[in-house]
Amino acid sequence: MNTVQKGTIFVVDDDPLVRKALQRLLKSAGYFTETFPSAREFLSSGHSSEGPACLILDVKMPGLSGFDLQEELSAASYAMPIIFITGHGDIPSSVKAMKNGAVDFLSKPFEDQDLFDSISVALKKDSITRTVLSERRKIQQRLDQLTLREYEILTFIITGMLNKQTANILNISEKTVKAHRGKVMTKMGVSSVAELVRITEKLGVKPAAVSN
Amino acid sequence: MKIITKDPLQKAHDELENKFREQIEELTRVNEKLKLEIIDLKQAEPELQSIQEYLDIILFNIPVGVAILEGPEFRYFRINQVLADLNGLSVEEHLGRRLEDVLPKAALGILPNLRRVFENGEAILAREFSVRLPSNPGNEVNLVDWHFPIRVDGRIKAVCAIVMDITERKRSEKEIEKQREQLEKANQELIDYHKNLEKIVENRTTKLREEIIERKQVEDKLRKSESSLASAQRIAHLGSWEWNIPENKTIWSDEVFRIFGFAPQQFEVTYESFLDRIHPNDRSFVEEAVNRVLADSETGYNIQHRIIRPNGTERIVHERGEVKLGEDGKPARMTGTMQDLTEFKNIEAETRQLRDELAHLNRLGIIENMASAIAHEINQPLTAILSNSQAALRLLNINPPDLNEVREALTDIADADKRAGEVIRRIRTMVKKEGFHRELYNINTLIGEVIDLVQNEVVIQNISLTTNLEPRVPGIYGDKIQMQQVILNLIMNALDAVKNQPIDARHIDIATKVEDKEDVEVRVTDSGPGVDEDNIENIFNPFYTTKSHGMGLGLSVCHSIIENHGGRIWVENCSGGGAKFSFRLPFKMDDDL
């Protein structure tokens, strides 16, 4: 069993019988599982994992409910995909949960295959999220290396403006612009303007506001 | 009036006066004649004798008393018989004698007058006086006298006295006065009567006027009450009618016309034209009711039926009628009322629907809460069981199988199962806590009580509900309230089943019967659409329902109650349509139950 490949499954349910059964089922299917008796304990654990992960969450629990936890998690930059499980699924609350980004909403008792299908969707979603996040982190690290002037030149480069035009606007020599540009391209690890535009877009860097 | 009554009096008085005047004139004439005769006598002495004779004749025939008294001693020179009689003496007893000697008492009153006449030459005319005369001392007589002087050669020698008895006249005057008074009294009475009459007439007139006013007010009131009756009829949609049976003429109030969709008094009504307006399906029913009352006038009829308006719309009316017999003892008239219940029915139906919805929502709310609680409690162990068993299957499939883990999974499954069982037991005891009171009751009485509860519904929905109850049904020992619930449930289901049937095909029958000498069987038969044969087995299962509303718990509750009472319940479709729900209860209950 290669748990790292399969991903990590967090289970939050106040019922020990259910927790234990799910842990056993998920383990038998090759998942690494961590279980928590309450939303609070899950939050305080830090719930970090190496590979993709998802959360199997009971709706009705004493203290913080499943929905409360979903709300809390979605406020952070990284939201783990959630599969809700409930003993008495009602349509309005499930719709709300799905709108808030839940992967699925399963009524207890559920077929193992339904759960596994949902888990595989959730993990895929999480692995994409994680890739995007790590890429953004990398780009951010590069951006952080630029000087203030270099960042300014970057915002002009991604508008597609020529060095001459940039020099005119900033009232510096074209030669200086060219030198900065070289440094920006190197520091950002890109070889073309198109590539620079693509990665800066991901971080939401705004091009210089220039009127034509 | 007054003048007329005075006339006879005046007339009598005047007549008397005239008579007197005439007599005095006569006397004067006689006197003048005497004077002349005396002169003549003096001139012709030889004729004196004869004149004397004439005078004497006159004197003695005149019907008044006359005397000539010679002054100054007033000796009687002449006196006639009338006066002598009046004095109660003979003529001879007077002549030559003094007045005071002849009439000593009367002389006192007469002498001064005589002297006055004699000395002054004045005549005293018509002096009236009353006196008691020696001739008739018991009675006062009324007299009137005249005294005048008799002159000879210009000198007064004698006084002539004329006396008249006016007692009779006085009496008649008094009589007349009395009569006058009576007349006046009568007159006054007449006047009073007249006045009274006027007053009476006036009073009568006032009274009449008042009566007229009063009558007008009554008429006004009547008119008003008639119009308020009409408006009351309009508001209540209640009309009245009267049917003259021998002439077959019917009078409808305006409102009846309106109920039937016509303008007031639009046409002449007969019994047939009334029947024509009745819904064809209800016509025979109405005719039967009318015929029944015609045959037995003691009871009226009180029915609900449909009518068709000219524009084709259907109305539901409530009609009452009663018969009045004629002198021949045969039905003469039928009177009654008709009320349009359509709006009322619509409102009722709406209210009922709202009530049903409310009850349904309430039921849903309660059951939803309960179901949600039950679902959560049961689903937790079920989830554990399913997940554990599926995990166990996987664990068995891997090579080598993790038998320890499988064992643990199976142990957990058993635990979860026990927990589920525990939950169910808990719910059961919760339900059982509602109480199970055993008492001896009569099932017929119980059915009657339940019918009372649904009576209103039965009437509103136009359902005919009949009972065929075994008269001598043994008492049943059990929970009366729960049994009431069962019967109520079955009747409510029957009401639901028949309510969409045509109005004359809504029938429910409730029967009790002793079966096999140890059971009481209760049957609720309806004329509804019957039970779906494919699902007849499921009908007592919880949550099975064919209704758009309702949770399908009613019959399952009935089922468990009957089973708790050691009985059984079943359903079958009737051959002629409709369903028959039956249950049996043993009336010999075991001691431990």
What is the tens place of the pLDDT at every residue in A77-95? 788 999 999 876 667 777 8
pLDDT at position B593, please?
Answer: 39
Respond yes or no on whether the N-terminal peptide bond of residue B310 is cis (omega within 30° of 0): no
Cβ–Cβ < 8 Å for A11, A35:
yes
Residues whose CB is less than 8 angstroms from the CB of residue A41 and which lie 6 or more positions away in sequence, other chains included: none
pLDDT at position B590, please?
Answer: 46
Residue from the list A85, A87, A110 with its beta carbon closest to the beta carbon of B375? A87
pLDDT at position A211, please?
Answer: 60
Cα–Cα distance, B411 to B367 (Å, whole number):
34
Contact state of B394 with A17 under an 8 Å Cβ cutoff:
no
pLDDT of residue A3 exceeding 70: no
pLDDT at position B443, please?
Answer: 92
The token duo for A113 is 């295959």
| Alpha helices for B237-335 (secondary structure H) | 254-259, 271-276, 280-295
Instruction: Say which residue the tokens 């307006």 belong to.
Output: B277
Residue from the list A27, A28, A87 with its beta carbon closest to the beta carbon of B380? A87
* Burial label, A69 (beta-carbon count in 10 A; 0-12, 13-18, 19+): buried
pLDDT at position A4, please?
Answer: 41
- B385 CB within 8 Å of a chain A CB: yes
Residue from the list B371, B383, B408 with its beta carbon closest to the beta carbon of A109? B383
Contact state of B416 with A21 under an 8 Å Cβ cutoff:
yes
The amino acid that residue A38 corresponds to is: S
Cα–Cα distance, B466 to B366 (Å, whole number):
35
Among A162-176, A178-192, B44-58, the minimum mean pLDDT is found in B44-58
A24 vs B contacts (CB less than 8 Å): 387-388, 391, 395, 405, 408-409, 412
Residues lower than pLDDT 70 in chain B: 1-6, 40-49, 51, 351-373, 426-437, 541-554, 588-593
Closest alpha carbon within chain A to B392: A25
Report ipTM (2 d.p.): 0.76
Contact state of A28 with B387 under an 8 Å Cβ cutoff:
no
Instruction: Say which residue the tokens 């006058």 belong to.
Output: B180
pLDDT at position B435, please?
Answer: 52
Calculate the CA dihedral of residues A107, A112, A116, A117 and round it to 10 degrees. -60
* Burial label, B502 (beta-carbon count in 10 A; 0-12, 13-18, 19+): exposed
Cβ–Cβ < 8 Å for A10, A83:
no
Residue from the list A15, A110, A111 with its beta carbon closest to the beta carbon of B380? A15
Question: How many angstroms away from the CA of A90 is the closest CA of chain B?
Answer: 10
- B375 CB within 8 Å of a chain A CB: yes
Cβ–Cβ < 8 Å for B5, B183:
yes
Cα–Cα distance, B277 to B254 (Å, whole number):
16
| Alpha helices for A13-79 (secondary structure H) | 16-28, 39-45, 66-74
The Cβ of residue A161 has, within 10 Å, a number of other Cβ atoms equal to 19
Residue B260 per-residue DSSP state: T
Q: Three-state DSSP class for B491? A: helix
Cβ–Cβ < 8 Å for B331, B322:
no
Contact state of A85 with B383 under an 8 Å Cβ cutoff:
yes
Cβ–Cβ < 8 Å for B83, B72:
no
pLDDT at position B2, please?
Answer: 46
Cα–Cα distance, A148 to B63 (Å, whole number):
186
pLDDT at position A23, please?
Answer: 94
Question: How many angstroms away from the CA of B365 is the closest CA of chain A?
Answer: 14
The Cβ of residue A104 has, within 10 Å, a number of other Cβ atoms equal to 22
Cβ–Cβ < 8 Å for B46, B55:
no
- B396 CB within 8 Å of a chain A CB: no
pLDDT of residue A121 exceeding 90: yes
Contact state of B381 with A17 under an 8 Å Cβ cutoff:
yes
Cα–Cα distance, B353 to B361 (Å, whole number):
12
Q: Three-state DSSP class for B484? A: helix
Q: Three-state DSSP class for B318? A: strand
Question: How many angstroms away from the CA of B430 is the closest CA of chain A?
Answer: 21
pLDDT at position B543, please?
Answer: 56
Please, which pLDDT band fits residue A176 given cuts at 50, 70 and 90? Answer: very high
Residue from the list B379, B391, B412 with its beta carbon closest to the beta carbon of A109? B379
Query: How many A/B residue pairs have CB atoms within 8 Å?
Result: 79
B409 vs A contacts (CB less than 8 Å): 21, 24
Please, which pLDDT band fits residue A54 given cuts at 50, 70 and 90? Answer: very high
Cβ–Cβ < 8 Å for B80, B59:
yes
Distances (CA, A) of B566 to A80, B60, B369, B439, B486: 58, 156, 31, 15, 14
pLDDT at position B373, please?
Answer: 61
**Pairing, β B314-325 against β B301-308:** antiparallel
Cα–Cα distance, A34 to A57 (Å, whole number):
12
Q: What percent of chain A has pLDDT over 70?
A: 95
pLDDT at position B55, please?
Answer: 77
A88 vs B contacts (CB less than 8 Å): 371-372, 375-376, 379
